[in-house]
Structure 1
Amino acid sequence: MDREHSQVNSLLAEAANLIRREKKAAGNVEPAEGYKRRQIEELKLFATQHNLWININSLPLSYLSKGGENEVFTGHEDIVFKLNNFEYAGEDLENFFIRIEAHNVFFSNVTYQMIGFAYNSQHEFCAVLVQPYVRAKREATEEEIAEHMQALGFEMVYEDEYHNAEYEVFDAVPNNVLYGIDDKLYFIDTQIRFRPIEITL
């Protein structure tokens, strides 16, 4: 996968580029914990300038579940809505965009699209993502997950973690991977990040 030419929908690409420009402009002048606050303010301004705010309460959606970072809703038989509060991005929102872009390449049968921004029930600023609704027979087994990841060129490091030369995929556990009625696997909610660059002396 080419880090510079990921094929993602235009809003996701625009927001990701905004965050990367903001990070580059900040350089090392600001402590790392300050990046996220500034990045969120930039995304709020971006949302206002481009009319990208979504009032979830005004949509005919039904609440499904809540995890560490997502509030999940449905109201359409083919998609789910996820309000992602950037919790797992740490102190740099670029991590969120790296994850979503990589997910859309590796798990293209259940891609994310960003459609705007909103506040969740805790009044946290969120990206609004939509993803295909998966009709599943059951959760995938650990063996099925491992086989699929190996077919993608990943090596198992731990029970739920896989690496290739460029990426780490973790939290690839049965409740995040569904076995569809079409007998295919759907990785609906894993974590992905760049592998640290090893420096040899």
Structure 2
Amino acid sequence: MYNDDTKKELENIVRGSILKGDGNHCTTIRNFLCASFGASTTVKKEFESKLLIKKEQESSLRNYATTHQLWIDHLPGQYLTKGGESKVYLDIQTSSVIKINDAVYYATWLEYFNSLILHNLIFKDTSYSLIGFIDIENVFYAVVKQPFIIAEGQASLDDIRSFLEYNGFQNVKRQDYINKEYGLILEDMHDENVLLNSEKLFFIDTVFYIVAENYSTP
């Protein structure tokens, strides 16, 4: 369950309030997007209608990256794999994985950064930090770093469900969950996105959405 500070932070993220800085670029850029474009909730059916906003946000982020020297010329580490939304590299020197993401699963770039911050708040052991941005063949990517976790066994779907239910998420279909208190959807929580190490679950790939109040569960 969440402590009072975590609950307050969750409320502020969902409301679109400006968050206090924590030294992480993810929070700073999320605040920048909120201030520039406002906060709004969405569901998947609105992806196409928000394409223009996403393009405008990308343009603003490109300018932001230039102003704040956040462009990356090359990707560190060795290429590992391509997941549903990210290409993944291993940086042995820092025991980290580097992921590049073009926010393909999100209607806007603000949604992507909200998802990162929600992950960092709920799954602190595998927190993301933003390294910068990169342009590959005219595709704009965010570049994030995450601790490298060695899997010692396969995570049980029952254990994943129990953990998420303890933290307020209800299983709605397959491996998709919703937290009705905060209006959060957490998708695709199967055993490839959650690793088991020393009998502890590590959530390494999450996709959060903040949904509209009138959203109905499947």
Give the shorter-chain TM-score range.
0.7 to 0.9
Matched ranges for 1:174-193 at <5 A: 174-180=191-197, 182-193=198-209
Partner of 2:3: none
Do residues 23 (structure 1) and 57 (structure 2) align? no
1:143–1:6 distance in 2 versus 1, CA, 3 Å:
farther
Partner of 1:126: 141
| Equivalent residues of 1:9, 1:113 under 8 A apart | no
Matched ranges for 1:80-99 at <5 A: 80-90=97-107, 92-99=108-115
**Displacement, 1:15?**
1.2
Q: Which 5+ residue runs of structure 1 have no aligned equivalent? A: 26-30
**Partner SS for 1:174:** coil
Do residues 112 (structure 1) and 134 (structure 2) align? no
Partner deviation per Cα, 1:25-46 (whole Å, 9 max, x = no partner): 9xxxxx6321111110110111
**Partner SS for 2:38:** helix
**Displacement, 1:20?**
1.7
Q: 144, 149, 163: which one pairs with 2:164? A: 149
**Distance (Å, rounded) in 2 between the aligned partners of 1:155 and 1:38:** 34
* TM-score normalised per structure 2: 0.79
Q: Which amino acid aligns with 2:31?
A: N
Q: Which amino acid aligns with 1:48?
A: T
Q: 24, 49, 59: which one pairs with 1:10? A: 24
**Displacement, 1:173?**
0.8
Q: 59, 70, 83: which one pairs with 1:67? A: 83
Do residues 161 (structure 1) and 176 (structure 2) align? yes
* TM-score normalised per structure 1: 0.86
| Equivalent residues of 1:104, 1:110 under 8 A apart | yes
Partner of 1:101: 117
Partner of 2:72: 54
Q: CA RMSD in A?
A: 2.1
**Partner SS for 2:141:** strand
**Partner SS for 2:214:** coil
**Displacement, 1:98?**
1.4
Partner deviation per Cα, 1:80-137 (whole Å, 9 max, x = no partner): 00011111112x21110111111111111101111111124x5421111000000111
**Distance (Å, rounded) in 2 between the aligned partners of 1:137 and 1:146:** 19
Taking only the aligned residue pairs, the percentage that are identical comes to 28
